[in-house]
Structure 1
Amino acid sequence: MKSYDVAIIGSGPGGYVAAIRCAQLGMKTAIIEKYSTLGGTCLNVGCIPSKAMLSSSHHYEEATKHFEEHGIEIPGDIKVNLEKMIARKQAVVDQTTGGIDFLMKKNNIDVYEGLGSFKDATHIKIDGKDAGEIEAKNIIVATGSKPSNLPFITLDKERVITSTEALELKEIPKHMIVIGGGVIGLELGQVYRRLGAEVTVIEFMDRILPTMDAGLSKELNKVFKKAKCKMMMSHKVQSVERNGDEVVVKAENKKGEVVEFKGDYCLVSVGRRPYTDGLNVDAAGLKLTDRGQIEVNEHLQTNVSNIYAIGDVVKGAMLAHKAEEEGTFVAETLAGQKPHIDYNLIPGVVYTWPEVAAVGKTEEELKDAGVEYKVGQFPFRALGRARASGDLDGFVKILADKTTDEVLGVHMIGARCADLIAEAVVAMEYRASAEDISRMSHAHPTFAEAIKEAALAATEDRALHV
């Protein structure tokens, strides 16, 4: 039986990053993955393939709706080859997961293919291609999450589908009904709306992206309505039935009326659940929360001292970069270092177009906490760079402490916000004030100027270009 300093169960962004960092720090490391490719949900059926589809569909929309105004004329009809689009997506996935294989070899990490389960607190049984048993002084659980479902919905994975199947469709839906106005539903809904599908989004709450700042929700809702998506807020889904190639969804609106929606596909995107199936946590003596998460302390250590857990399987936002930070944190903790994670400064991003990104506190959270704050906001359409590219939707909003001017939250929707949010994270990590940001030189013309202008607006309301 092989023995290791650290064994990691699960090879998603949390797991593989933990493995690399452990190996860098001199630990003999193994990683166990039940699927034939490394990378977990994110690389195989989540972040990476969805961004590939978003990128391809964005190109198609630009070609059909915006090229002409740029003076680009394409003779003949522009058509979607969905099979080729999905093949390209898969090629991106294959290249990315192959890169993880390379990193495992480069760092001398032993990879086991099979389902890893606890035999006890220091032994892991592997069922699958590399069947056997290994021993480890320390174990990191990084088993991630799976799509959630509503108890009355039968997912046939043909017409009533999750995000996994939505990335592999053989045809463009005529009418895709999306249950859930969160990140996954909106991203994939926008993909198929761009490709020509009618899209209806049904959300239980009174707005899309209910956990983000309300201003972002309102602006993105406008964008989706402008694209002729039907946005049905405050609707409680009661039933989903498939009749041949038709799916019928019934939902109750806030007036108590039952409304019926008919489509040929229904995407169920009501969140994700921690995945511990087959892990045999009882054998190791691990405690789970009432939400199915593995209980951990502030060091991501479970109630069993040599076992840690990270990523979607523990509390907190289900984000790949949060899992990566936690993987690094545990590796460095095991090496005797003193790392830190500020969970308030983990950014959230929605990769629709315009992109949505945020870090820190929302206005709603600051109001609930009784914090006095000031707001600086700047619209993208006032930027020369936005006018030059035609990306006019959106704004940057900075929330700063009314007394100290420290930046408490940054919320943005617009072109390249997924990248721009990093500036806000850096500023807040060093406890910058709005005035600090306003006095930094930002290249012109850029989208990043919106951050400077929003900071100016929060500093004595002195934005320059509005």
Structure 2
Amino acid sequence: MSSFDVVVIGSGPGGYVSAIRCAQLGFNTAIVEKYPTLGGTCLNVGCIPSKALLDSSHHYDDAMKHFKEHGIEIPGDIKVNFEQMINRKKGVVDQNVSGIQYLMDKNKITVIQGVGSFEDATHVKVTKEDGSSETVEAKNVIIATGSKPASLPFIDIDKERIITSTEALKLKEIPKHLVIIGGGVIGLELGQVYLRLGAKVSVVEYMDRIIPTMDAALSKELTKVLKKQGMKFYTSHKVQSVERDGDTVTVKAENKKGDIETLEGDYALVSVGRRPYTDGLDADKAGVKLTERGQVEVNDHLQTNVSNIYAIGDVVRGAMLAHKAEEEGVLVAEILAGQKPHINYNLIPGVVYTWPEVAAVGKTEEQLKEAGVEYKSGSFPFKALGRSRASMDTDGFVKILADAKTDEVLGVHMIGARVADLIAEAVTAMEFRASAEDISRMSHAHPTYAEAVKEAALAATDNRPLHL
């Protein structure tokens, strides 16, 4: 029987990063993965392939709508080779997956293929595809089994016409009418991909706005922009039924007045969030407690009720984000090594990779109001930036919320070009508890999108943006 200092169950961003950090710290480490490829949902059927399709469809959209204005003329009709687009996406995924395998080899991490389940607190059984199994001994175990797409109890997901994000990333055709159930990050990103490629896209959302967990101003602006692009929204609608008849899917949803809206499409994407995945883990055999929501119960050190077993990422409480899982994976590795790392969960940024992109960190305006915190707000629109005009990316704004008395930045909310990258400036500033004035006095290169951050900070400091 093989024995390891650390066995990580799951090779997604949390799992593989945790394994690497454990190996760096001198632990004899193994990682267990049920699928043939490493990388988990993020690399295989999530973050990476969706961004590949978003980028490809963005290029097509630009060619169709903006190239002539830029003085670029393409003879003949511009056409989508959807098969090649999907093949390119697959190539991007393959490159990333092989990169993870390289990192495992480089760090001398033992990769064990199969489904990992507990026999007890220090023994993990790995069951292979052919039914054979092996058991490994572990001084410490890190559960990093991630999440799976959630659904509604009355929806029968057939993976053909009624689909999840996994199937939406490998369709054989562009939908004629894609009905999306859920106006969150995943639904909007995939919706924009197919909208650009010519599909009619309708979004049904139970809450009164899309991206409901983010600042309301971001939701309002993104709704406006996506409507302008042609996306249809049915907010405050509760889905009653989803039925398939041949190639037609009918979605019925009830609004607040009790009226029923009937939408017919050739595909329905169920995008109502994700659920923690512990199927087949046999956590009870190790004595590990799960919450009522199916999450692994952990303390502030991500330690379960069993002292040598930890859990990270989507399978525990908190935002289901790859970078959050990575930070937790590193934290656990360093705790095992006797170090004293920390994570400030308030400073885990959230991003929507539509175009314009949406990004945020810290408290929303709604949260500050609810908590009774006195704050001031400063915003700056991208349309006032020279860089935005040059690139024709003028939608959106940056909003900075700061404490009314101390001027400490409490939240930063952005929608616009490249804000997925810009948000790192806000995270850095808030990690060091910067004031809005601190940001306003930093030199920002001209012309850049980042100047909007400086201008918003000036607006929040004493309402004196320079270019508005």
Which residue pairs with 1:7 in the alignment?
7
Offset of 1:327 from its aligned partner? Answer: 0.2
Offset of 1:131 from its aligned partner? Answer: 2.8
Q: Count residues with an aligned counterpart.
A: 466
Match for residue 213 of structure 1 among 193, 202, 215 = 215
* 1:371 aligns to 2:379 (yes or no): no
Percent same amino acid at aligned positions? 77
1:366-410 CA distances to partner (integer Å, 9 max, x unpaired)? 001000000000000000000000000000000000000000000
Offset of 1:259 from its aligned partner? Answer: 1.1
Which residue pairs with 2:139 in the alignment?
137
- Residue 70 of structure 1 aligns to a residue whose secondary structure is coil
Which residue pairs with 1:362 in the alignment?
364
User: CA RMSD of the aligned region, Å?
Assistant: 0.6
Offset of 1:88 from its aligned partner? Answer: 0.2
State how far apart, in whole Å, the 2-side matches of 1:64 and 1:57 are: 11
1:29-428 matches, within 5 Å, as 29-128=29-128, 131-428=133-430
- Residue 69 of structure 2 aligns to a residue whose secondary structure is helix
State how far apart, in whole Å, the 1-side matches of 2:42 and 2:316 are: 16
The two structures have a TM-score, normalised by structure 1, of 1.00
Q: Which amino acid aligns with 1:406?
A: E
Q: Which amino acid aligns with 2:268?
A: C
| Structure 1 runs of 4+ with >6 Å offset | none
State how far apart, in whole Å, the 2-side matches of 1:112 and 1:460 are: 58
Match for residue 432 of structure 1 among 431, 434, 443 = 434
Match for residue 457 of structure 2 among 447, 455, 458 = 455
Q: Which amino acid aligns with 1:280?
A: D
State how far apart, in whole Å, the 2-side matches of 1:123 and 1:11 are: 18
- Residue 61 of structure 1 aligns to a residue whose secondary structure is helix
1:252-284 CA distances to partner (integer Å, 9 max, x unpaired)? 011111110000000000000000000001100
State how far apart, in whole Å, the 2-side matches of 1:95 and 1:378 are: 39
Offset of 1:229 from its aligned partner? Answer: 1.0
State how far apart, in whole Å, the 2-side matches of 1:228 and 1:41 are: 29
State how far apart, in whole Å, the 1-side matches of 2:391 and 2:260 are: 43
Offset of 1:228 from its aligned partner? Answer: 1.2
1:165-191 CA distances to partner (integer Å, 9 max, x unpaired)? 000000000000000000000000000
State how far apart, in whole Å, the 2-side matches of 1:90 and 1:175 are: 24
State how far apart, in whole Å, the 2-side matches of 1:13 and 1:344 are: 20
Which residue pairs with 1:24 in the alignment?
24
State how far apart, in whole Å, the 2-side matches of 1:4 and 1:395 are: 50
State how far apart, in whole Å, the 2-side matches of 1:298 and 1:443 are: 40
1:10-57 CA distances to partner (integer Å, 9 max, x unpaired)? 000000000000000000000000000000000000000000000000
State how far apart, in whole Å, the 2-side matches of 1:238 and 1:68 are: 45
- Residue 19 of structure 1 aligns to a residue whose secondary structure is helix
- Residue 386 of structure 1 aligns to a residue whose secondary structure is helix
State how far apart, in whole Å, the 2-side matches of 1:204 and 1:258 are: 13
State how far apart, in whole Å, the 2-side matches of 1:105 and 1:178 are: 41
The two structures have a TM-score, normalised by structure 2, of 0.99
